[in-house]
Amino acid sequence: MKFPFKKKTTTPDTLKVPEHVAIIMDGNGRWAKNRGLPRAAGHRAGADSVREIVRSCDKLGIKYLTLYAFSSENWNRPEKEVTMLMGLLEKFLKDKLPEMLEDNVRLRAIGRLDMLPAHVRAELDNAIEKTSKNTAVTMTLALSYGGREEIVDAAKSIAEAVNKGELSTDQITNDLFSSHLYTSDIPDPDLLIRTSGEVRLSNFLLWQLSYAEIVITSKNWPEFRHDELVTALEEYSRRDRRFGKVKPCNA
C-alpha cells in the first residue's frame, strides 16, 4: 500500500505503509537519567509517546500496532519499579480510555495476563471490552509477555488437543501452530522498530517476527514521536522484502 504523505518536509511523496508495526519501547530510564530525572519520569514520558504513536499510526494507515510494554523478565526488576510500572499502566488504561474511544482504537493484550495485579487486570479487561468494536488502529499491549513462554503455551494447547483426540500430529502445520499463539487473530508484523540503539529481540514475538524488517533507532522511546515513525517507515520503504525468494528479474 502506498500513502501520500506531505507533513514531514524530508519525506518522499510515497511511503510503503506496513499493515502491522511492532515496537520494543526501550530507553525510558536513559532518557530520564540524561535529564537528571527519576526513572519514573522516563516511563511517564514513554506513556505520552504511546499516545502520539497510536494516533500517528491512524494518520499513516497502519492498522496494527503491537507494543512491548512489560516483559516476563521485567518482573525481576526492583519491586519499587514493578509497582510503579503497574500503577502507570493502570492510570494509562483509566485515563486514556476516553481517547481510545474517541480515536476509534481497539485495545488488545497478549502475555500471561493472569500474573498482572487484579486492579490492573480489571482496568485492562474493561478497556478491552469497551473498545472491542472499534475499527481504526488495533493496539496490542504485550504485558507479562515472553516469546518463548508464548510458544510453550501454544505447544501445551496443541498437545491437549492431540490428547483429547481433537487433532492428529500430522495436522500440525505452521498455520495450525500460529492459530494457537496469543496473536492468532492478527497478522504477523511487517516491521519491528527498537528504540535506544539496542540490537536484539529480547524475547519479543519470536515466532511472528520471522520475516519482519527490523529498524533500530538511536532515539530513546520518550523521544520517539510522529517524525521518528515516519523516518522508520522511510527506511522500511527502501527495503526489498523477498521472504526467502528471488526477485522476478533475477529468476
* Closer of 27 and 189 to ligand FPP (Cβ): 27
* Closer of 124 and 191 to ligand FPP (Cβ): 124
To ligand FPP, the closest distance from the beta carbon of 243 in angstroms equals 31
Question: Which listed residue (58, 74, 134, 227) is catalytic?
Answer: 74
Check if 126 is active-site.
no
Three cell numbers written together for 138 = 488495533
To ligand FPP, the closest distance from the beta carbon of 82 in angstroms equals 10
Q: What is the CA radius of gyration of the chain?
A: 19
CA distance to 25, 26, 51, 218, per residue, from 45 (Å): 12, 12, 10, 17
Report the distance separating Cα 126 and Cα 42, nearest Å: 26
Q: CA geometry: angle at 70 spanning 239 and 158, to 5°?
A: 80
* Closer of 18 and 27 to ligand FPP (Cβ): 27
To ligand FPP, the closest distance from the beta carbon of 81 in angstroms equals 8
To ligand FPP, the closest distance from the beta carbon of 232 in angstroms equals 17
* Closer of 23 and 209 to ligand FPP (Cβ): 23
Check if 76 is active-site.
no
Binding site for ligand FPP (CB under 6 A): 25-30, 43, 46-47, 50, 69, 74, 88-89, 92, 141, 221
* Closer of 5 and 92 to ligand FPP (Cβ): 92
Three cell numbers written together for 235 = 527506511
DSSP string, 66-120: EEEEEEGGGGGS-HHHHHHHHHHHHHHHHHHHHHHHHTTPEEEEES-GGGS-HHH
To ligand FPP, the closest distance from the beta carbon of 76 in angstroms equals 11
Question: Which listed residue (26, 103, 188, 190) is catalytic?
Answer: 26
Instruction: Please say whether the beta carbons of 20 and 212 come within 8 A.
Output: no
Q: What is the dihedral of CA 79, 94, 99, 101, to 10 degrees?
A: 120
Report the distance separating Cα 120 and Cα 82, nearest Å: 12
Q: Which residue is nearest to ligand FPP (CB)?
A: 29
Nearest to 81 by CA among 71, 67, 68: 71
Q: Which residues are catalytic?
A: 26, 74
